[in-house]
Structure 1
Amino acid sequence: MRKLYLLLLVFATTIQAQTVSVQQFATGLNSIVDIANCGDDRLFVVQQNGIIRVLNSNGTAISGNFLDISSLISTGGERGLLGIAFHPNYATNGYFFLNYTNDMGDTVIARYSVNPNNPNQALSNSAEIVLTIDQPFSNHNGGTLKFGPDGMLYIGMGDGGSGGDPSNYAQNINSLLGKMLRINVDTLPYTIPADNPFVGVAGSDEIYATGLRNPWKFCFDYETGNLWIADVGQQNIEEINKELYSVAGLNYGWRCYEGNNAYNTSGCVAQSALTFPEAVYPSTNNTNECSITGGYVYRGTQYPGFVGLYFFTDYCSGRIGTINANGTLTWRTTGNDNYYTTFGEDLNKNLYVAGGGTIFRVIDSALSIEENKTIDVKVLPNPTSNFLQIDANDQAFPAQLKVFDLNGKLLFDGSYQKNQLVSVSGWSAGYYVAQLTLANGQESTLKFSKK
């Protein structure tokens, strides 16, 4: 028993190390720009070329396309099919929303419906245009759509493109460019929430926040409701903004400021009227970074050390970073050859990151303990949901099995027969340690997880 407690102590220590790594999950896709779930164990993969694919929970692709709108879009550079959001009541109404640039290069928000006879296929003729926004240049189109905890649809809009926001759209409250928009899509084309900040005063009613350059990715924290916006910088600074739940009307400062640094303050409001970033990092010629790709605040159960951390990456370096509750930015990986363009979440709030045609799972690689495998033994399935089974390759049975949680609490202690199933249905999601002693005296210590 003393040996096990030492093992658990080492295991708990490694959890706190929060070592971020990635594992390949799916490949063979094309120009992935968004990953979403609709409330079940599938993943919907948005490709910039206008095609949406569906993956099973094990990463295998379901045959055929969920939807193909390639004939409707302009592609190349920062254009294309860019984002998807499933209606909060998707399970009953089958509605989902897309963000794409049309054949004129303008932003289109459209609603589609799933095929009621085939959950892996959308109705291509079901499109309803919600909103079209003129784009003066080909870049800085934003692309992300999210339903907030209030049930409203939020749309991240870039400043219209070129460089330096030459028309100062981001500070123009009569333009939808360079903004976070918030609309109600329960009645089409849409209605304006009565508590939007510019309702009844000067400014476009759709606007929720101003002063953004290119909020390519943003997310909501499921626990706090806070809005996290990763805003791509101009030349020197990449920034992450955190907006507290239900705080509307903030001005994030672009083009007056890039991050915390003055950029072009001509005609700008007082600095005190602006909201500055939660965190920044440099993207000058002296660094490997160039463009932030925002992710999510981890609220899953599989990696306790990740809980509450906001994850992001940089497109050029491939490094993955986190920001904690105190606003401290920490780079967690050294980077690689992957140019990550999006994060994603599954039903259980596990994190994924993707670039090109490959999706990776984001994992805590510190969650590894030295397993004592004097015999060829494994736990099946792993992770498990309802039961566990020990596969010992016809070793001597009966055996003695003990299972502990990470606090050292004994959850199972008894004889174990070959092919026996041990129920874990009442156990919490997380990691466990199993000790198996076979009839011939051989021992094995194994780890497994419950989802």
Structure 2
Amino acid sequence: MKKFIILVLLVCLPVFVYSFQLKEVVSELEQPTDLLFLSEQQLLVAEKTGRLVLVDLTKKSQKDVHNFEVLTDSELGLLGITLHPNFQQNQFIFVNYNPKEGERRTRISRFTLNNLQGAPSLSNEKVILEVEQPYKNHDAGQIAFGPDGFLYIGMGDGGSGGDPKGHGQNLKTLLGTVLRVDIDAADNIPYLIPATNPFINNSEAKDEIWAYGIRNPWRFTFHEETLILADVGQNKLEEVNVITKGKNYGWKVMEGNECFKDKKQSCDKSQYEAPKITYGRDQGQSITGGKVYTKGHIKSLASRYIYADFITGKIWSAKYPEFTDNKLEIDTDINVSAFGLDIQGELYLADYANGKIHQIVE
């Protein structure tokens, strides 16, 4: 009788069924920080330690493209890669990294990516932008082209904790912002300022700034016209924002949708753009922004924004564009550092600690 009762209780226990699982497609990497697809079978992966590697998913092979000499302390390293919108014609790739020589700084450079079918390599570095970094953390890392053809750059607040230098609310610095620049300039000009940038005629602000009040925008993405940015929190909250022209996202007056504890500042929430999603320390400690899933074959994820927490390994989705119906999709034990979409619209993620790339499958 006791066995029967125990069996009934076990059968009646709720079972959580995940919408998808992770399929390992690449291994033997070292701390992957970013990934992007060049074709159905060719995948570029950036490693924090400075290696840029070309992976052939069909042949299961890897080729070194370039080894950057980078600082790797704390959050420094090779942090982000993106392709020029006309990559098929010009072969331009843009890289975000912290060069080893000289002062600690973020460097955004353009390279030509050569010989993808043979021995791939980078050549002709053109330095687009350099920004001095006062500390070793909050370097962000994401760079991406918008539908307008301009390059968007995520810049953290410069680091330490609690933004001690007040960069987040200071329009006279490039730190704590999203930048927008025109990189299709002559070779002797690093970049141009788009005429529609919001602070271009403001003597109290940097022309490059598109939005500000950002703490550490490790990963953001464009879906059509919408810029979706995940900002890593300080003490209590992680957040997802939709970034629009000239807006202030609150840091360090705000953390998520709450006032940040700082006795030197008043806090009027109405002055700042509210996040679309927040979660607390019971769920995670460092958000990794993801992608909107639209073309892939997993029906339950259609028109949903997929994102993760780097520390806990939880992966969530929210209905897009409303950012409602936020739910846990799968609870993993990996450090998700980046997401990527292949040519068919299927979703992949980088497994930082284990040096792997996984595909999200049904």
Q: Aligning the two structures, in what range does the TM-score lie when normalised by the shorter sequence?
A: 0.7 to 0.9
**Counterpart code for 2:307:** F
Q: CA deviation at 1:18?
A: 7.4
Aligned positions of 1:75-114 closer than 5 A: 75-103=72-100, 104-114=103-113
**Aligned-partner residue type, residue 351 of structure 1:** L
Task: Kindly state the Cα deviation for residue 324 of structure 1 after the two structures are TM-superposed.
Answer: 1.0
Amino acid at match of 1:251: N
Q: Which residue of 2 aligns with 1:136?
A: 134
Identify if the C-alpha distance between structure 1 residues 160 and 119 changes in structure 2 by more than 3 Å, giving closer, same or farther.
farther
- Separation in 1, partners of 2:119, 2:258: 47
Question: In the alignment, which residue of structure 2 is the partner of 1:204?
Answer: 206
Paired residue type of 1:205 = D
Q: CA deviation at 1:57?
A: 3.5
Q: TM-score, length-normalised on structure 2?
A: 0.88
Opposite residue 341 of structure 1, the aligned amino acid is: S
- Indicate the residue corresponding to 1:216 in structure 2: 218
Q: Please give the per-residue CA displacement for 1:306-344, whole angstroms capped at 9, x wherever unaligned.
A: 1211111111111100111332221111x2321111111
CA contact (8 A) 1:112 1:122 kept: no
Structure 1 residues 233 and 317: alpha-carbon distance in aligned structure 2, compared to 1, 3 A threshold: same
Look up the equivalent residue of 1:43 and give its one-letter code: L
One-letter code aligned to 1:29 = L
8 Å contact kept, 1:170–1:179: yes
Partner of 2:10: none
Alignment size in residue pairs: 335
Does 2:232 match 1:236? no
Alignment partner, residue 11 of structure 2: none
Distance in 1 (CA, whole Å) between partners of 2:147 and 2:263 is 35
Q: Secondary structure at 1:170's aligned position in 2?
A: helix
How far apart in 2 are the matches of 1:292 and 1:145? 17
Q: What residue is the counterpart of 2:227 in the other structure?
A: 227
Q: Is 2:121 the partner of 1:122?
A: yes
Instruction: Indicate whether 1:349 and 2:345 are aligned.
Output: yes
Structure 1: which 5+ runs fail to align? 1-16, 366-451
Native 8 Å contact 1:255 1:265 kept in 2? no
Query: Could you tell me how far apart the structure 2 residues matched to 1:353 and 1:61 are?
Result: 18
1:116–1:250: structure 2 CA closer, same or farther, 3 Å change rule? Answer: same
SS in 2 for 1:127: strand
| CA distance 1:36–1:82, shift in 2 (3 Å) | same
What do the CA deviations read for 1:185-224 (whole angstroms, capped 9, x no partner)?
11141000100110111310000000010000000113xx
Conservation of the 8 A alpha-carbon contact between 1:26 and 1:59: no
Structure 2 distance, partners of 1:314, 1:162, is: 21
Pairing of 1:20-39 with structure 2 (within 5 A): 20-38=20-38
- Secondary structure, in 3 states, of the residue corresponding to 2:97? strand
**CA distance in structure 2 between the partners assigned to 1:346 and 1:265 by the alignment:** 47
The Cα shift of 1:273 comes to 2.3
Structure-1-length-normalised TM-score: 0.71
Deviation at 1:155, TM superposition (A): 0.4
Q: List 4+ stretches of structure 1 deviating above 4 A.
A: 116-120, 267-270
For 2:335, which of 334, 339, 347 is the aligned residue? 339
* CA distances 1:100-120 after superposition (whole Å, capped 9, x unpaired): 112232100011101258566
**Alignment partner of 2:159 out of 136, 158, 161:** 161
Kept in 2: contact 1:279–1:327 (CA 8 A): yes
Distance 1:164 1:253 in 2: 13
117 and 241 in structure 1: CA distance in 2 versus 1, 3 angstrom threshold: closer
Aligned AA for 2:213?
A: G
Q: How does 1:63-78 map to 2 (within 5 A)?
A: 64-69=63-68, 71=69, 73-78=70-75
1:257/1:39 CA distance change after superposition, 3 Å: same
Partners of 1:35 and 1:322 in 2: CA distance: 20
- Structure 1 position 271, deviation (Å): 2.7
Q: Which has the higher contact order (CA 8 A, sep 6+)?
A: 2
Over 3 Å counting, the alpha-carbon distance change for 1:77 and 1:117 in structure 2 is closer
Query: Secondary structure of 2:44's match?
Result: strand
Task: Confirm or deny: 8 A CA contact 1:45 1:55 kept in the other structure.
Answer: yes
SS in 2 for 1:338: coil
User: In angstroms, what is the RMSD of aligned CA positions?
Assistant: 1.8
- 1:376 is aligned to none
Q: Deviations over 1:390-434 (max 9, x none)?
A: xxxxxxxxxxxxxxxxxxxxxxxxxxxxxxxxxxxxxxxxxxxxx
Structure-2 separation of matches of 1:252 and 1:268: 15
Q: Which stretches in structure 2 are left out of the alignment for 5+ residues?
A: 1-16
1:11-410 alignment runs, 5 A limit:
19-38=19-38, 41-58=41-58, 60-62=60-62, 64-69=63-68, 71=69, 73-103=70-100, 104-115=103-114, 121-124=120-123, 126-187=124-185, 188-201=189-202, 202-222=204-224, 225-243=225-243, 247-263=244-260, 264=262, 266-267=264-265, 270-283=268-281, 287=282, 289-325=284-320, 326-328=322-324, 329-333=326-330, 335-355=331-351, 356=353, 357-363=355-361, 365=362
Matched residues in 2 for 1:59 and 1:142: separation?
A: 33
Q: 1:186 to 1:20 in 2, by over 3 A?
A: same
Greater C-alpha radius of gyration: 1
User: Is contact 1:312-1:322 (8 Å) kept?
Assistant: yes
